[in-house]
Amino acid sequence: MSHYVVGDVQGCYDELISLCKKIKFKPNKDKLIFAGDFVNRGPKSLEVLEFCMQNKKSISGVLGNHDFYLLYLIEHKKRNKSLKPILESKSVNRIFKWLRKQPLVQKIKINKSKEIFYIVHAGIPFIWSLKTAKKLSNELQGELKKDSYNILKKMWGDSPSRWKESLEGYKRYRTIINYFTRMRYLDANGDLKLKKKDLKKEKNHIPWFEQTIINLKPKEYIVFGHWAALNGKTKFKNIIGLDTGCVWGNKLTAIRLEDKKIFQINKL
Ligand SMILES: [Mn+2]
């Protein structure tokens, strides 16, 4: 049995299937974990989610910003061109239920190597220990089950930009979602800098992983997606970026956690 984590698929179903063939994914034996952004922008978002649900015993993932957007569209009965086939599908309620169940962080321990992998869409900020991150993911997942309508309605916006444990209610949930699914840069205090998306150096804008690396022990890893411009490069062996911009015409990437072997498919 092997664990494979795949980067942002964003509706690139044909490439996902090619990648599954390349890794010889066996649904009755292996596990496939999506690093978030299952859907949107690409041509076959509905097919991607149907594939996940057909193999739900072996496929899971963490939620990305585009997945939250889809949940919002479904629950608030909004329209969107790229996601229309899902919104009009007979499976829309099943899709909603399945997607809403996915956490923001998954912790996977590989028995043989004793290595621990934290899978997350955007990243884990240095201001949260790995334990805190898992706890906040559990909290949000639980709240989403009870009150998704309002959480999804009130998740929009960039503020507060700074996490405080004392945050409550929808502000708290919005901030948790923003760190886990939209973060790229933080300042030295851990405030979110959500406006900046390019790779140019800028004062007081630090890629999140440059501060988080200090929190990781040698056998702890973070695997993330979201930041296609990095093309997988973080310069830290314990922080592994998997978004290689398939939806932008580049590559779809997966990693096998047991030996950290990388598998890639070019955009078809
Ligand atoms: Mn994303």
pLDDT for the residue numbered 79: 96
pLDDT band at 230 (very low <50, low <70, confident <90, very high): very high
Query: Strand ranges (DSSP E) for 2-136?
Result: 3-6, 31-34, 59-61, 105-110, 115-120
Share of the chain above pLDDT 90, in %: 100
pTM over 0.95? The answer is: yes
What is the distance between the alpha carbons of residues 149 and 139, in angstroms, rounded to a whole number? 16
Distance from Cα 112 to the centre of ligand 1, integer Å: 31
Give 245's DSSP letter.
B
Distance from Cα 67 to the centre of ligand 1, integer Å: 9
Mean pLDDT across 29-54? 98
Domain 3-266 fold: Purple Acid Phosphatase; chain A, domain 2 (3.60.21)
Tens of pLDDT, residues 45-84? 999 999 999 999 999 999 999 999 999 999 999 999 999 9
Distance from Cα 224 to the centre of ligand 1, integer Å: 10
Distance from Cα 37 to the centre of ligand 1, integer Å: 6
Tens of pLDDT, residues 107-120? 999 999 999 999 99
Average pLDDT, the chain: 98
What is the distance between the alpha carbons of residues 244 and 19, in angstroms, rounded to a whole number? 13
Tens of pLDDT, residues 180-207? 999 999 999 999 999 999 999 999 999 9
pLDDT band at 167 (very low <50, low <70, confident <90, very high): very high
Instruction: Report in angstroms the alpha-carbon separations of 145 from 23, 33, 232.
Output: 34, 21, 33
Distance from Cα 35 to the centre of ligand 1, integer Å: 9
